[in-house]
Chain A
Amino acid sequence: AQSVTQPDIHITVSEGASLELRCNYSYGATPYLFWYVQSPGQGLQLLLKYFSGDTLVQGIKGFEAEFKRSQSSFNLRKPSVHWSDAAEYFCAVVYYNAGNMLTFGGGTRLMVKP
């Protein structure tokens, strides 16, 4: 079965520090990978996505993610975190030719210390 793992349930970083949120997906067919952010009581906002090509993708709000097929990972990074980045982050995957269903990870809650 398809699965997405976000190993860190909570992460706390200081404002201005760098950030890396981990995401691992189960091996399968060609994956399409997404990162979403959700503020409390809000819907999902797409940060970035990877379909093909350059494995380092740039997203909105200064985020980037790198697809590493050998490690089945798609980690999200930001060089300098802002207090407004505090939110819940979800990694998600769609496997081509597997019904195109979106599978979400469990989420990582990011807290930012002043």
Chain B
Amino acid sequence: GAVVSQHPSRVICKSGTSVKIECRSLDFQATTMFWYRQFPKKSLMLMATSNEGSKATYEQGVEKDKFLINHASLTLSTLTVTSAHPEDSSFYICSARRGEGPEQYFGPGTRLTVT
């Protein structure tokens, strides 16, 4: 149990367009979902935390107007990269937490390339 999926796994978009990444908890209800960004050969950087039905909490330095997060249900959170630029190219990973416990379940990641 505790499977998290992400879609798409890879996406290439043109500069100036927007792209949406979905994160789903497949077999549990996620009270909290997290979005991370990972640069090549680096660790994961937390971008934002989202709770179902409320606004996401963004980490310092993350532009909330560029990275729109919606947590519409207990099984789905979306990250929309608006007006993407090449510097937004990265590996984006979501995770979900079940209840209030410490463990997060990670999705397989989405590779975004902006040309």
- The chain A residues found within 8 Å of chain B, CB to CB, are 32, 34, 36, 41-44, 46, 49, 51, 90, 94, 96, 100-102, 104-107, 109
Of all chain B residues, which has the CB nearest A101?
A: B46
Q: How far is the CA of A94 from the CA of B49 in the complex (A)?
A: 15
A102 to chain B: which residues have CB within 8 Å? 34, 46, 95, 102, 104
- From known contacts A32-B102, A96-B102, infer whether A44 and B43 are also in contact, taking CB-CB under 8 Å: no
Let me know if B102 and A90 touch, CB within 8 A. Answer: no
Secondary structure of the B contact surface, majority rule: strand
| Cβ-based interface call for B97 (8 A) | yes
Does A100 lie within 8 Å of B107, measured CB to CB?
A: no
Tally of B interface residues using CB under 8 Å: 22
List chain B residues, Cβ under 8 A from A94.
102-103
Q: Which of B86-110 contact A (CB under 8 A)?
A: 91, 93, 95, 97, 100-104, 106-109
Establish whether residues B43 and A107, one from each chain, have CB atoms under 8 Å apart when the complex forms: yes
Q: A94-B102, A100-B97, A100-B102 are in contact. Are A42 and B44 (CB under 8 A)?
A: no
| Between-chain CB contacts (< 8 Å), 21 pairs | A42-B109, A43-B93, A43-B107, A43-B108, A44-B44, A44-B93, A44-B106, A49-B103, A51-B102, A90-B44, A94-B102, A100-B97, A100-B100, A100-B101, A101-B46, A102-B34, A102-B46, A104-B43, A104-B44, A106-B42, A107-B42
* Cα–Cα distance between A32 and B42 once the two chains are bound (Å): 22
B85 within 8 A of A: no
Kindly identify, within residues 37 to 64 of chain B, every residue whose CB is under 8 Å from any CB belonging to chain A: 41-44, 46, 49
Query: What's the minimum C-beta distance from A27 to chain B, rounded to whole angstroms?
Result: 17
B7 close to chain A: CB less than 8 A = no
Chain B: minimal CB distance from A38 (Å) = 9
User: How near does chain B come to A102, taking the closest CB pair, in angstroms?
Assistant: 6
Complex Cα distance A104/B45, Å? 8
Once bound together, how far apart are the Cα atoms of A42 and B10, in whole Å? 11
| Minimum CB–CB distance for A106 against chain B, Å | 5
